[in-house]
Structure 1
């Protein structure tokens, strides 16, 4: 049963009576600014991220870190691939002792310490201010945007260029609900009606994106931008995970020529390829969601799209 915090206490998340999956909104929406007087000023070694290699929302944040060369600026605590009944588990083997970052066992403990009376989701990513102990943000889009501009904005690609901002925002709004959240709405639906609504909207949106990418190299034009880093993690996981695990099996990304070309092109960027751990991703989904895969069997998976390393199908 999925968990959340209610007044700081770990509880079962209430079920939607219509069988639909509802993602709880982010409660922390602070902002890092390049101003010494700001509540959260841009300072090296002050901020810390809690990320999962499996989560597509976290993957977008990691892509910004990698492309902007910020791995030495912001620390990371990684999640274990397998979630527990208490939510995200912190990978103790990868934990690096850091000032202001206690060695917790579960991610929910980070929320409890920062906001003892917090009510809401226990989601990753989490951006923590090590100096104050406060959570800056749990909104992945906000974190991607601020990391792309607050620290060394001239480093790496410009991910939110002024002349493309309206188009980036338009497309981001378009892909958010039907695609990025749509795969989860399909996979976690508990009624046929909720599943059908989600999956039909998902494939309608994929058809529109296929048409768009027939005419453009990237979503907003001829350069990689932050909206590509939002869509890419979902497309990457689609054939190896969602197609089977979330029952989004009307078509594969491999069946769409333009989407396949787009996915392969982004995978071949070295800073992007370095962030991909497909065995970890597949182990997380197939072995964490026992309510939809009780035996925890990892499917053999499809042949990978060009550019993606061979998917491992044997796990300890």
Structure 2
């Protein structure tokens, strides 16, 4: 759907077209190799955000370089595209490593006749300029399992074998009702579609509130893949989803446990240091002109509340389990601090 196009049916995410995997045994033809791949993201996009978090937590900052597109998409041939600009560190509006202006160029390098949508994140093979994968779901799992040869020392286990079934089931519920649920509400083509989406969204948030009242993280004492998938939606909730997407039965800050949990994660290395609220607000309010025709960008809420004490440590637990927190991000990857 184009950014300025009024939806005519409920939002459904089409399967990813490019789903090759970079694995330890290179069974898809893409080997694990430091410096070979570039991760193209947008700071506003929650689907890209989860991949950035895993990259940070596992210490893959140096092994996989990061390319950040402009928060405002550019219309090319009638469609919105993720592009590189000087604002996000791309002199002459070209990515300094890939030498391209729009991510779609990597799609076309891989498949010259491709005429589908272009999404972030995109993992690109630097030597050829070909897109390897835009499968946001699989990318986080592979960075947290297949790339072990390049992990930092004492990296956490985000997808423990014993918990995988439970993580997968919870991820499915969170994706359906929360991650994608906010979009189904925001782009609902009719009242009944909106009513179903927003009801399911807040029923799930209520259930998560109850769950997190008694334990520090979604699966207990440590951070897992499930927390990484929930956080990007929570951190955008009051800033854009509550008003812009009409998810306004309650704000995140009105959920005592969820709000404290979200602050706990935000203040954990690898989470808050990957958030750029300015990009989030500018992208959503400006690009989605079908639901915000004037493209007026909201001024608030002020993000200072994310730095207030959360007291979740009283529930015990070890955020990284037997691992340790990641160090500071490389200078080139840092986001502006909350002022």
Same fold? TM cut 0.5: yes
Q: Which residue of 2 aligns with 1:9?
A: none
* Alpha-carbon contact 2:41-2:66 (below 8 Å) kept: yes
State the SS of the aligned residue for 2:167. Answer: helix
Question: What are the Cα deviations for residues 15-52 of structure 1, in whole angstroms up to 9, with x where unaligned?
Answer: 864x3122222111111111267511100111111100
Pair 1:114 & 2:110 matched: yes
Alpha-carbon distance in structure 1 between the residues aligned to 2:26 and 2:10: 44
How far apart are the structure 2 equivalents of 1:310 and 1:242? Answer: 22
Matched, 1:24 2:14: yes
Q: 2:99 aligns with which of 85, 97, 102?
A: 102
Q: How many residues align?
A: 299
Q: Deviations over 1:129-183 (max 9, x none)?
A: 2234432211112111111223234642111111221111111011011100010
Q: Does 1:129 align with 2:125?
A: yes
Partner Cα distance (1:207, 1:235) in 2: 13
Counting only pairs closer than 5 Å after superposition, residues 145-294 of structure 1 correspond to structure 2 as: 145-151=141-147, 152-153=150-151, 155=153, 156-294=155-293
Listed one character per residue, the Cα deviations across residues 211-248 of structure 1 (whole Å, up to 9, x for unaligned) are 11112211111100111111100000001111011010
User: Alpha carbons of 1:311 and 1:22: their partners in 2 closer, same or farther (altered >3 Å)?
Assistant: farther
Closer/same/farther in 2, CA of residues 40 and 211 from structure 1, 3 Å limit: same
The verdict on how the C-alpha distance between 1:255 and 1:38 changes in structure 2, with shifts beyond 3 A counting, is same
Question: What runs of 5+ residues in structure 2 fail to find an aligned partner?
Answer: 309-335
Task: Give the TM-score normalised by the residue count of structure 2.
Answer: 0.82
Q: Is the 8 A contact 1:253 1:260 kept in 2?
A: yes
Q: 2:307: which partner in 1?
A: 307
Q: Which residue of 2 aligns with 1:90?
A: 83
Structure 2 CA distance for aligned equivalents of residues 205 and 217 of structure 1: 18
Q: 1:191 Cα deviation (Å)?
A: 1.4
The answer on whether the counterparts of 2:39 and 2:124 sit within 8 Å (CA) in structure 1 is yes
Residues 184/224 of structure 1: CA separation in 2 closer, same or farther (3 Å cut): same
What is the SS of the residue equivalent to 2:270?
A: helix
Indicate the residue corresponding to 1:53 in structure 2. 43
**Corresponding position of 1:63:** 53
Cα distance in structure 2, aligned partners of 1:16 and 1:83: 19
Superposed CA offset, 1:279-298 (max 9, x none): 11111111111111111112
Q: Which one is further off, 126-135 or 180-189?
A: 126-135
C-alpha distance in 2 between matches for 1:131 and 1:84: 26
Q: Which runs of 4+ in 1 moved over 4 A?
A: 308-312
Give 1:123 shift: 0.9
| Unmatched runs of 5 consecutive residues or more in structure 1 | 4-11
1:79 is aligned to 69
Given that residues 54 and 144 in structure 2 are in contact (C-alpha distance below 8 angstroms), is that contact kept between their aligned partners in structure 1? yes
CA distance in 1, matches of 2:191, 2:338: 31
Once the two structures are TM-superposed, the CA of residue 72 in structure 1 deviates from its matched residue by: 0.9
* CA contact 2:239–2:300 (8 Å) conserved in 1: yes
- Matching residue of 1:2: 2
Structure 1 length as normaliser, TM-score? 0.87
Distance in 1, matches of 2:56 and 2:188, equals 34
Q: Is the 8 Å Cα contact of residues 35 and 41 (structure 1) preserved in structure 2?
A: yes
